[in-house]
Every structure is written in structure tokens, then in C-alpha cells.
Amino acid sequence: MASKAVEKRQQAAPAKVDPRDEPSAEWGWHGGFPKGARIAGWITVVALLAMIYNNHENNTENVWLIAIAAGIVIGLLVDIKKKRTAWRR
């Protein structure tokens, strides 16, 4: 049964993008904004850490703000590492 499914996939032509659905297909851009995402990530980290200096009843809010900021920083550092070593693949 699996072999029939494989045969059907091999016979099927790759789907082409209709320019009416995605106008950018005509001029070939289907990318993202990696540099913009990195900048937005660092701005978010700074904004989260700036929220620490506020009037809080206890430090639970501070723990959450620092933990979320640290998670974003770790993600950004992993992204930088992947960008540096992408040419080695």
C-alpha cells in the first residue's frame, strides 16, 4: 500500500504558485525579514527588562520578565550561531 502512495507522489507534478494568490511570485520574492526579526527581538528584550523598574507588589512579575527576556536572548544567540555556521553545511 505504501508503494502506491510513493508512486502517486512521484507522478504528481510540483504545484506552482498562482500569481493571483501570491503577487510576489511574479518577481520572485518569498522571503522573510531575518535582520528585522533580530532587531525586534533585541528591542523586545530591552523593553521587558525596562519593565522591571515599575511599582510591583512582589517580585513574581520580575521573575517572569527576566525569564522571558532570557528565553528570547537564548533564541537570538542560537540564531546568531546558526547564521555564522550556515556556510559549513
- The string of pLDDT tens digits covering residues 72-82 is 999 999 998 88
Decide: helix, strand or coil at residue 51: coil
pLDDT at 41: 96
Q: How many domains does the chain have?
A: 1
What is the percent of the chain with per-residue pLDDT over 70, rounded to a whole number? 60
pLDDT band at 58 (very low <50, low <70, confident <90, very high): confident
Q: To which H or E segment does residue 7 belong? A: helix 2-11
Task: Provide the whole-model pTM.
Answer: 0.63
Per the structure, the complete domain to which residue 71 belongs is given by 1-88
